[in-house]
Amino acid sequence: MNTINLCLPPLAQVDPVIFSVPSGACDCHAHVFGPKKVFPFISDRSYTPPEAPIAAYQEMHRKLGIARAVIVQPSVYGNDNGATLNAIKQYGDDNARGIAVVAKDVSEAELETLHQRGIRGVRFNLLFKGGAQLKDLEHIASKIAAFRWHIQLLMDVSELPLIVGRLRRLPTEFVFDHMGHMPTTCRTDNVGFKTLLDLIKEGRAWAKLSGNYRISSAGPSYKDAKVFAYALISASKNRIVWGSDWPHPGLYNEMPNDGALLNALDDYAPSAALKKAILVDNPAQLYGFNLPANGAAHDQ
């Protein structure tokens, strides 16, 4: 393993949850790394993560009371989805879904196989090496539309106005990682963030309440991200999901506590009904958790 850019491992200690986690709660954003001998990293990558096995992820969920997971293909694997698919299987097909990275020339048969194994979207990572290419956005979206998948975007939404016209013409919905991954110093009146809110209000976009530590300039407990979470929930409480971003790849100096990240939802969504929508109902709709993971390609 290349250790030049070796990032920190996740914390083993998990703070206790301060609210009652509803049954069927879903962590909608996490990654699994390893075993490295089975699933090697691509050479042209932006960071090198330590191994973060599915068993450790499941143990974190046990401590938090989370029952479902969405495993997101990380950039260090390029478009080899083997580690992600293995993690879905190990977690349990009925309670896990995944987001893949695919090549432009992916076949319908390959997409069918991915769907059968729990994949429900394709990720475009515009911040790190190893993701799908933005130039292929429309082509890939046209291929996955029949499967009712979505496009997942990791980008700084201050740049969203540059591509919003393209997004509005896509035959799929789209999901934005980490509250739009825009620094809190840009404020919620930033034109890009306001564009994200418009897309959510239009019923085309979703956003993940994840990665508050990635956008915050305040440090723990990342209180300056609260106003962004409020704005996203206000745009549509039915199009917001939560994710831990475990094992928090790409960090080198300080690691967030997964219990504290879930507890932040108590600030963002004070009522039990709103927490249930974000943790249970919205993920069930977006990822099809009320359907078998290996169901028909055109899920109804």
| Tokens describing residue 259 | 């219990």
In terms of Cα–Cα distance, which of 199, 200, 226 is closest to 215?
226
In the beta sheet, which residues pair with residue 153?
124, 176
Strands (E), the chain: 26-30, 68-72, 96-100, 119-125, 150-154, 174-176, 205-209, 240-242
Phi and psi, residue 299, nearest 5°:
-60, 140
Active-site amino acid positions: 245
In terms of Cα–Cα distance, which of 213, 207, 178, 212 is closest to 8?
213
Residue 44, number of CB atoms within 10 A of its CB: 10
Which helix (H) or strand (E) is 275 found in, with range? helix 272-276
Phi and psi, residue 56, nearest 5°:
-70, -40
180, 150 Cβ separation under 8 angstroms: no
Query: What number of H helices and E strands is found in the chain?
Result: 11, 8
In terms of Cα–Cα distance, which of 267, 244, 243, 264 is closest to 255?
244
Alpha-carbon separation of residue 256 from 15, 72, 260 (angstroms): 10, 19, 8
